[in-house]
Structure 1
Amino acid sequence: MDAGRPFSANGASADGKVIFGGTVDAQGVQRPLVWLNETSTPTGLDALDANSTAVAHAISADGTTIVGSSNSNGALNNGHAVLWSRVNGAYSILDLGTLGGATSAAAAVSHDGSVIVGSADLDATHNHAAAWYDIDSHAVDLGTLGGNSSARGLSADGTVIVGQSNLAGGDLRAVAWYGKNANPVNLGVLNGGSSSFARTVSADGSVIIGGATYSSTADTHAVAWYNQETTPTDLGTLGGKASDATAVSANGGLSLAMRRMRAMQSTPWFGLAVRHRRQTLGLWGARLPIRAASLLMGL
C-alpha cells in the first residue's frame, strides 16, 4: 500500500483495538483498510477482483468480522456484499452473493458477527432488504411493504433489524423486523407527514431512531420508536424546522446525530437541529433536544 495516499478511519471494534477505514489508490480505486492491535500502519483488505473497488461499512464488536461491498468483476455497477473474517490475525474475503440479481451491499453486522444485514437485487428493478446468518453466503429476503426495501441496522444479538421500505404507491416507511424470518412491520409516520425511515436501533433492541416528515413540506424531524411501537415519537428541534437523529446509545437513553457542514461534509455531533437556517448542536435525553455545543466542544 502507498503510505503517501490519504486514508480515513471509519469505525472500530468495541475495545478499539481493531479500526477499519479506506483509501483511494493511485489508480483512483477505493480500497478498504484495517489497523490491528493499536498499530499505526494499516493493512489492506482484499477485493473480490484485484482491479475492483471495495468498501468496508461496519465491524463486529469483537473485531473479527468486517462487512461491506466489493465489485466482483471490475465493473463499477456490479458490487456484491462481502465480509472479511479474521482467523489467526489475517482477514479473508467472502462473497455474500445476491437474491438473484446483479448487486448487493452489507450495511451492518451484529456484535458477534453472526448476522449481517443490507440489501440485494432480485432482478434489474427490485431490490430487497437482506440478511445473512452464521457467515453463510446465502442471502435471506426480508421482504417489503410493497416496493423496494433495505436494512440499515440491527440490535446487538441480531434479533431486531431496522430499515426502510417503499409502499406499493411509492411512499417511504420505516420498518422493523422482530426475529428471524419475520415480516417487515410498518412503523408509521408523524401526524400530517408522508414518509419515515429508520437509521439504527439500540443494542438492546428497545429503541429505534430515524427521521420522519411532519408536514406536507420536505422538512424532517428526528424521531424514535420505543418498545416496538408503530407510531414515531417526535424528538423535536431547537426551534427551527428540521432535525435528524442518526445513532443511539446501547440502552436507548441518548440519541445522537450528524451535522452537515456548508460543503455538505458530515461531522459527528451529539444531536442535530436547524435554528434560523443555522445548524445548532444538541442532544436528546429523556426525549427532549438539549443544546450541547459548549458541553461537547467548548464553543
Structure 2
Amino acid sequence: MLRVSIVSTMVAAGMALSGCATGQQLPTPPAKLEAATKTTHKIKQIPAPSQPVDVAVYEFPDLTGQAKPNDSFAEYSRAVTQGGANLLIDVLKATGGGQWFRVVERSGLKNLVQERTLIENTQRAYNPGSGALPPVRFAGLILEGGIVGYDSNERTGGAGARYLGIGGDMQYRSDLVTVSLRAVSVQNGEVLASTTTSKQIYSYMMRGGAYKFAVAEELLEIEAGISYNDPGHLAVREGIELAVYSLIVDGLKNGLWRLADPAQQELLIRQFSKDYAGKKPAGS
C-alpha cells in the first residue's frame, strides 16, 4: 500500500507540472532590474569630476576560453558571460551617478553610421533646407581589457554525518574570475592606467536523507536538499565595478583627471587604500 501511495503521488506531481509547462502559469516572481553587488554603492557614490571623461568601449571579451565546469560530462557553454562590453558600459554610466563618463557608441558603430546615412539621404531628398546632423562625438580614451581568468574549483570542501540511516552533508566550491581594464590615450596610444581585479564565485549544496525498512524487505528512502550558485555575470560585474573604481583612483593619483571638489580627492584615495590596499597611502 505504501509503495502504491508513493507512486500515485509522483504521477500526480508529474501531471501537474506537465500541465503548467507552457505560459507563465507557475508562481514565478516578476522581472526586476539588475541586482546590486557589494561594490555598486561605492561606484555610484564616487564624487563628481571637474569635467566628464569621454570614453569609448569597442569590446570587452572573454579571454579565458573556459567552459562551464562539469564533473559528469563535457560542457560547451562558456564559464563566464560573453557580454562583458555591455556590463562595462552599464557600470560606466552608473559611476558617480552618471556624472563621470560620457560613453560613445562603438560596438554598434556600423548601425549608428547606417542610421545617420539614412537620415541624411532622406533630408537631402525631401527636405533640402534642413540642417545637417551634428558630428559624432569623439573619445579621448579607449577602455580596453577583458575577462582574463577563470579558475574553477579554486577551493572545495564539505562535511557530513549519518547515524542509523539518518544524516546529511554539505559541500561547497569556490571559483575565481579575473578582470583586467586599462585606459589608452587616443592621442598617442599610451596606456595611462591599468588595473586587475578578481572576484570569487561561491556554490554550495546541502542535503539530508533517511532510509528505513518500512516493512520486511521493503526499504523506504527519503532525500531532500538545496543548492545555490552565485550568478556568474554578477561576479564579472563586481570585478568590472572595482576595476573602474581603481582606474579612477589611479587617474586621480597621476593627475589624469580631478574631482570637482578638491577637498574630497585625498579622502577618496585614502578610503580606496583602506578598503582594498590594506595599508595607508604613501606619505600618510
Scaled by the length of structure 1, the TM-score of the pair is 0.20
Greater relative CO (CA pairs within 8 A, separation 6+)? 2
Higher strand share: 1
